[in-house]
Amino acid sequence: MTVDFVWALGRAAGNFFARKSPKGRVMVARDTRESGPRLEAALCAGLREAGLEVTSVGVLPSGGLAMLVQETGACAGAILSASHNPASDNGVKFCGADGAKLSEESEKEMEMGLDLTKVAPELKVAGVADFMCTGEAFDLYQGRLRRAFGSGAILKGVRIVVDAGHGAAWYTTPKILREMGAEVEVMSAQPDGKNINEGCGSEHPEKLIEAVKQRKGWIGLAHDGDADRMVLIDEDGERVDGDEVIGMVALDALELGRLPDKTVVVTQMSNLGLDEMVMAHGGRVIRTAVGDRAVAEAMRKGGYGVGGEQSGHLLFHDVSPAGDGLLSALKVLDRVQRKRARVADLRKGMRRYPQKLTNLKVRHKPAWESIPAVAGAVAEMEERLGPKGRILLRYSGTENMIRLLVEADEIDRISAVEKKLVPLLEKHLGE
């Protein structure tokens, strides 16, 4: 991510957005990476060349930026962030006027306009990095959440340790939780440009788990770099799986009559126990390909309100078109407060099926369905597992690897599937 490339990307993005909104405004934010201010200046300069107005709001979670785009009537939003990656990386995420991620078709159209032959002009960058967001941006972000969950000390009695990962939510999440009445202790909230995600946050919750175990009755919340995800730790110091979080909030929405078409959207990686729990309460689960974009697209097309991934990237379209870690936490805490219950108890509503993921290196990537021996064995094992199990076989998009996920109600049945399929995969696809 060089200055020249980001400037060119800004010009291409600006031309793309200007075709729909010639005099529009783009909201721009960043996380706490050292490269952020310099790349942000390049991006903003490129966007302005297309005739667009640009408003920079400083350091803000990507989910908060999506809400700001909607609140201000902007034609688009952009955030400089590499999410859970190390501080040396950076990237640009765009959203449209609706605050949602752009479609693949829109991204391809934008890329077609990239002109990398020109050099960026000399840019003016602040000498000292500022890791705050503007007051207006904070007020709009907090205001959206307040309208969704109510005013006053609605979290009174909640005690929570926040691991901000030295990232975009280092200031916003603790402040908003405190203003909602929660007692908050904060970890990893001293960004210096180089320490984002470093041994902390959602990718490394070990220290947070220990902190929660040392405090009776507390829960833990960890963010990644742009805070679109969250990892939740219950009062017993146990990590709450993303599927369990989806299950808790889906059940809450079902009980309140606020789950459109009684449907939850998840990816193929989600646990069968989630399907079992939702169906037991009169709902249904729709599965998509892996990735939050696929989940969001299915939700938009079907008009569904709740969806997400096992990783902790969750979507609640009644409040926001984008994933936001604080929003996800508030959905859980809202149920905790109304039920006067512990997270550790609420999560018991879902029985997790055992899963086993095996990664095998491959020499090539033909469609595995085209290999009779493999396809036949998968079909045989799926029939043997029946409704109490499943097999997911897919290639990695970035490595020469095939991933075999087997899930069943009993470990022995998983082992039987592995014993049958792994040798065949190694024979026909292995290095």
Q: What is the pLDDT of residue 39?
A: 96
Residue 92 domain-assigned?
A: yes
Residue 127 domain-assigned?
A: yes
Q: What is the pTM of this model?
A: 0.91
Coil, strand or helix at 131 = coil
Both tokens assigned to 277: 């729990």
Domain end, chosen from 87, 104, 135, is at: 135
CA dist 401 and 431 (Å) reads 10
Q: What is the pLDDT of residue 130?
A: 86
* 331-to-148, 149, 230, 426 alpha-carbon distances in Å: 10, 8, 12, 44
CA dist 68 and 31 (Å) reads 16
| Count: domains in the chain | 2
Smallest Cα–Cα separation from 409: which of 392, 385, 393? 385
pLDDT tens-digit profile of 142-181? 999 999 999 889 999 999 999 999 999 999 999 999 999 9
Q: What is the mean pLDDT of each run of 10 residues along the chain (431 residues)?
A: 95 96 95 96 95 97 97 97 95 96 93 90 77 96 96 95 98 98 98 97 97 97 96 97 94 94 94 94 94 92 94 93 96 96 92 92 94 96 93 88 94 95 94 79
Residue 297 domain-assigned?
A: no
- The CATH code of the domain that includes 413 is 3.30.310.50
Q: Which long-range contacts (CB under 8 A, 24 or more apart) does 217-222 make?
A: 217/159, 218/159, 218/160, 218/161, 218/185, 219/158, 219/159, 219/160, 219/161, 219/343, 220/160, 220/161, 220/162, 220/163, 221/160, 221/161, 221/162, 221/163, 221/173, 221/325, 221/329, 222/162, 222/163, 222/165
| Bridge partners for 337 per DSSP | none
CA dist 146 and 222 (Å) reads 21
Question: For residue 99, what are the domain limits?
Answer: 3-135
Compute the 3-state secondary structure of the chain and give helix, strand, coil in percent, each to the nearest 5: 45, 20, 40
Domain end, chosen from 100, 135, 170, is at: 135
Residue 306 domain-assigned?
A: no
Residue 409 domain-assigned?
A: yes
Residue 141 domain-assigned?
A: no
Could you identify the residue written with the tokens 């201010």? 37
Domain end, chosen from 114, 135, 156, is at: 135
* Active-site amino acid positions: 83
pLDDT tens-digit profile of 27-52? 999 999 999 999 999 999 999 999 99
Q: What is the pLDDT of residue 127?
A: 62
- Strand 401-408 vs strand 230-233: parallel, antiparallel, or unpaired? unpaired
Residue 279 domain-assigned?
A: no
Amino acid 27 reads M
- The CATH code of the domain that includes 57 is 3.40.120.10
Task: Name the packing angle between helices 135-149 and 62-72 (round to 10°).
Answer: 90
Evaluate whether 304 touches 264 at the Cβ level (below 8 Å). Answer: yes
- Tallying the residues shown for the chain, one arrives at 431
Residue 424 domain-assigned?
A: yes
DSSP string across 161-176: EEE-TTSTTTTHHHHH
Q: What is the pLDDT of residue 290?
A: 85
How is residue 87 annotated by DSSP? T
234 Cβ contact partners less than 8 Å away, ≥ 6 residues apart: 219, 240, 342, 343, 344, 347
Rounded to 5 degrees, what angle do the CA atoms 161, 193, 107 make? Answer: 95
Smallest Cα–Cα separation from 4: which of 55, 44, 54, 39? 39
